[in-house]
Chains A and B, each alone.
Chain A
Amino acid sequence: NAGVTQTPKFQVLKTGQSMTLQCAQDMNHEYMSWYRQDPGMGLRLIHYSVGAGITDQGEVPNGYNVSRSTTEDFPLRLLSAAPSQTSVYFCASSYSGSETQYFGPGTRLLVL
């Protein structure tokens, strides 16, 4: 199993550009989440999904959209990038009822 994969590994955007961060898992996990990690602030939940077709907002959802059309994929869309969205983005997945989250390797995003 590949586990949780994320692409790209690194991305530079200009302010106002849009892009999609990809996340996929091959463990048939129901739950998937997106976090951002900034220095000294730990991981903050952006959006999450409890199954295909079901998504909900986390702590910091503004400026981001998600969709979950399949169990495997959970893309994160930045609608109009801002410098404040410069961060490391992690995708995670888990079985329903399990507290163990499996994280992808992360995407480092720089918005100029």
Chain B
Amino acid sequence: KAGVTQTPRYLIKTRGQQVTLSCSPISGHRSVSWYQQTPGQGLQFLFEYFSETQRNKGNFPGRFSGRQFSNSRSEMNVSTLELGDSALYLCASSLGDRGSYGYTFGSGTRLTVV
């Protein structure tokens, strides 16, 4: 079966612009989480959605937002891009919100802000 699909794979944006990243979870998965990975900070949790509701949010500024659609696909948006937003953005999906359900990660979107 198809894995977690993230688009686009690579993106270059200019400071001040905004960007939208997309994530299509594994069919049947209802939980989608987003993570930011940078060399300095490692993997950091951004937010998690379950059945179109944001259930948990990490410690990121309000410029970072997201949403989940009825088909469980998710998007995250970053407005007023800063150089420090350059990172690998990873999406992970899970069947549900129980601890026994593992997460499957996508290959990520590498965002470069210049």
Are A and B a genuine interacting pair, yes or no? no
Spell out B's residues near A (CB within 8 Å).
Answer: none
Which residues of A approach B to under 8 Å, CB–CB?
none
